[in-house]
Structure 1
Amino acid sequence: MQVFKTELDGVLILEPRLFGDQRGFFLETYQSARYADLGLVHPFVQDNLSRSSRGVVRGLHLQNPNTQGKLVSAMRGRVLDVAVDVRTGSPTFGRHVAVELSEDNRRQLWVPRGFAHGFAVLSDTADFFYKCDDYYSPQDEIAVRWNDPAIGIDWKVDTPSLSAKDATAPLLADVENLPVYGQV
């Protein structure tokens, strides 16, 4: 497996090894000891799968105080996946990493606890897989405006399809109860 560090401490791009022949391929998507060596030490407790169509933007979401780390990948199609550092006091607060995840490149993105997460669908449809290290906690969910100019994400989507919650989410500067750097 190849591991690429990003400009945001803790956010990793992972490329698992693919073994293929004329019959198809084999890919190990997770192995606890190997991922623990990378610092992903919390056990994964919940897996999620979403299907979305071209132009859908989901996010930016996080939970606090019950934060979640997420190992994400596109099982089918292509997405632009985004992690934003929203930990108050962080030297990279408000900065983001955007990476294309697809069924062709088989990349994964590790989104650590304390980071907001979102993605935009770039293909006709996309099946997006989340491996989470804590349970979904609706009362702890926080949304940040997907197009906050202070964050400056180029989603590569002209007219996004958004949920009502995402369309009306506050700007990062107006969000309360954010995680604190060094405490998540």
Structure 2
Amino acid sequence: MLRIGVLVSGGGTNLQAIIDAISNGKITNAEIVTVVGSRPGIYALERAKLNNIPSIVISRKAFNSLEEHDTAVCEHMKYCDVDLIVMAGYLSIVGDKLINEFNNKIINIHPSLIPSFCGPGFYGLKVHEAALERGVKITGATVHIVNEVCDGGPILLQKAVEVKPGDTPEVLQKRVMEEAEWEILPKAIDLIANGKI
């Protein structure tokens, strides 16, 4: 059974997609053992509570340095005996200690077709704003392994989504989540849990 730790910073829609995929059998041989929030009061923590999943807040602001915060997240994941860390809309930077300790065992969902609109500064609505500003006709989402390069790890899965005339960043963000993110993130977890990646 793959033991998953999920890192969250917001509403937790990708977390919900994972929870739903486990409950309806789209993800097999896996369970979420901990949800770590980057700040208190986010709805993702409420989603964890509603589904009886243990959660904790490990806020960057509570530590003197990125290294101390990174160590705290790493120690928590080790304490929970986590096999796979899933960054599901996590907006804090992951440090070297966590990346080295969980080498090739951290995945992230990014709301574009990497290598487009990725790297430092490209997160949340900023990605969709950039895609619309550039005038692309196709965007999408990417699940990739996390390494020391921001959005630079090996790509596991991608799914394309059409950009439609009149899209706003918010409309495009919702379509990318519904048509790509919520499909390929659970699929990647299932493939990992069953030894296919």
| TM-based fold match above 0.5 | no
Q: Whose helix proportion is higher, 1 or 2?
A: 2
Q: Whose strand proportion is higher, 1 or 2?
A: 1
TM-score, normalization: structure 1?
Answer: 0.29
